[in-house]
A and B are shown apart, each in its own frame.
Chain A
Amino acid sequence: MDVWDVLGRRTANDEFVVVGAVKAPDVDLALLLARETHFRHKEGVAYAVRRRGDDRIHEGEWTPESLGGVTDRSYRRQEAYAGVGAKLKRVASQMAARGLRIDRPRPPDPRGGADGEPRHE
Chain B
Amino acid sequence: MTYAERTAEFKARIDAGEKIEAADWMPDEYRQAAIKFIEMHANSEIMGALPEGTWIPKAPTLRRKLSLTAKVQDEVGHGQILYRVAEDLGKGREQMFDDLVNGRTKFHNVFHYPAETWGDVAVIGWLIDGAALVTQKALLDASYAPYVRAMRRICAEESLHLRHGEELTLELVSGTDDQRAMFQDAVNRWWQPIMHFFGPPSKLDRDVLLYWGIKTRTNEDLRQEFFSTYVPKLWDVGVSVPDPDLAFDDAQGAWVWSQPDWDEFWRVVKGDGPMTATRLAARKNVWDTHAWIREAFDGIPRAA
**In the assembled complex, which residues on chain A have CB atoms less than 8 Å from the CB atom of B156?**
41, 43
A26 and B160 in contact, given A3-B88, A107-B228 (Cβ under 8 angstroms): no
Instruction: Check if B66 sits within 8 Å of A25, measured CB to CB.
Output: no
What CA separation (Å) do A27 and B300 show in the bound complex? 12
A41 and B157 in contact, given A2-B302, A104-B247, A106-B248 (Cβ under 8 angstroms): yes
Q: Is A114 an interface residue (CB 8 A)?
A: no
Instruction: Check if B303 sits within 8 Å of A77, measured CB to CB.
Output: no
Instruction: Check if A81 sits within 8 Å of B163, measured CB to CB.
Output: yes
Q: Is B87 an interface residue (CB 8 A)?
A: yes
Q: Is B167 an interface residue (CB 8 A)?
A: yes
What CA separation (Å) do A76 and B157 show in the bound complex? 9
Q: Tell me the residues in window 227-248 of chain B with beta carbons closer than 8 Å to chain A beta carbons.
A: 228, 231-240, 247-248
User: A42 → chain B, closest Cβ, in Å?
Assistant: 11
Instruction: Check if B170 sits within 8 Å of A78, measured CB to CB.
Output: no
User: A8 → chain B, closest Cβ, in Å?
Assistant: 10
Chain A-chain B contacts (Cβ-Cβ < 8 Å), number: 128
A20 and B81 in contact, given A91-B174, A119-B232 (Cβ under 8 angstroms): yes
What is the interface residue range for chain A against chain B?
35 or more
- How many interface residues does B have (CB within 8 Å)? 50
Q: Tell me the residues in window 49-70 of chain B with beta carbons closer than 8 Å to chain A beta carbons.
A: 63, 66-67, 70
Q: Tell me the residues in window 1-49 of chain A with beta carbons closer than 8 Å to chain B beta carbons.
A: 1-3, 18-27, 29, 36-38, 40-41, 43
What CA separation (Å) do A27 and B301 show in the bound complex? 11
Instruction: Check if A20 sits within 8 Å of B150, measured CB to CB.
Output: yes
**In the assembled complex, which residues on chain B have CB atoms less than 8 Å from the CB atom of A84?**
163, 166-167, 170
A88 and B170 in contact, given A41-B157, A73-B70 (Cβ under 8 angstroms): yes
Closest to B301 in A: A25
What CA separation (Å) do A34 and B81 show in the bound complex? 10
Instruction: Check if B174 sits within 8 Å of A21, measured CB to CB.
Output: no
Instruction: Check if B235 sits within 8 Å of A102, measured CB to CB.
Output: yes
User: A101 → chain B, closest Cβ, in Å?
Assistant: 6
Instruction: Check if A76 sits within 8 Å of B235, measured CB to CB.
Output: no
Q: Select A27's contact among B93, B170, B303, beta carbons within 8 Å.
A: B303
Q: Select B167's contact among A18, A24, A81, A105, beta carbons within 8 Å.
A: A81
**In the assembled complex, which residues on chain A have CB atoms less than 8 Å from the CB atom of B255?**
107
What CA separation (Å) do A37 and B74 show in the bound complex? 9
Known: A21-B84, A95-B173, A107-B228. 16 other contacts (CB 8 A): A2-B302, A18-B149, A22-B84, A23-B87, A24-B297, A26-B302, A37-B77, A73-B70, A75-B66, A88-B166, A95-B237, A98-B238, A105-B248, A106-B231, A106-B248, A119-B233
**Would you give 28 A-B contacts (Cβ < 8 Å), ordered by A?**
A2-B302, A20-B146, A21-B146, A22-B84, A25-B297, A27-B303, A29-B297, A37-B77, A38-B153, A41-B156, A43-B153, A75-B66, A77-B160, A84-B163, A88-B166, A92-B236, A95-B174, A95-B236, A100-B237, A100-B238, A102-B239, A103-B235, A104-B247, A105-B248, A105-B250, A106-B248, A107-B253, A118-B236
Residues of A within 8 A of B (CB): 1-3, 18-27, 29, 36-38, 40-41, 43, 73, 75-78, 80-81, 84, 87-88, 91-92, 94-96, 98, 100-107, 118-120
Residues of B within 8 A of A (CB): 63, 66-67, 70, 73, 77, 80-81, 84-85, 87-88, 93, 146, 149-150, 153, 156-157, 159-160, 163-164, 166-167, 170, 173-174, 228, 231-240, 247-248, 250, 253, 255, 297-298, 300-303
